[in-house]
Amino acid sequence: MSDIIEMGTVSSRGQICIPNDIREEMGLKEGNKILFLLQDDSLLVKKVNMQTFAEITKPLKEEARRAGMKESDVEGIVSNFRKSKR
């Protein structure tokens, strides 16, 4: 992503218009979610990629299937891992 510096203005209702060049670079469309993070006097605005739990875990389930794992194996794996960390 290239560096883009733009100025914006806060409206009387507290709304901020994200400059067009930045919206295009980030691929922001109407309805997209964004995250605001305030640290001291700096505000970070980050695009949020909304995914369902099923979408997030799909690659993990596919890999577990390829490895021959069953859901019943998970409890033992977690238990063994926790024991190794003590």
pLDDT value at residue 1: 66
2 has pLDDT over 80 = no
Q: Are residues 26 and 57 in the same domain?
A: no
pLDDT digits (tens, 9 = 90+) for 34-51: 999 999 999 999 999 888
User: Does 26 lie in the same domain as 4?
Assistant: yes
Q: Tell me, yes or no, whether 8 and 29 share the same domain.
A: yes
Residue from 14, 29, 23, 12 nearest 45 by CA: 23
Radius of gyration of the chain (CA): 21
Handedness of CA 77, 81, 84, 86 (dihedral sign): negative
Residue 2 shares a structural domain with residue 43: yes
Count of domains in the chain?
2
What is the residue range of 22's domain? Answer: 1-49
33 & 5 share domain: yes
pLDDT band for position 74 (cuts 50, 70, 90): confident
On whether both 74 and 34 belong to a single domain, the answer is no
pTM: 0.53
Residues 74 and 32 in one domain: no
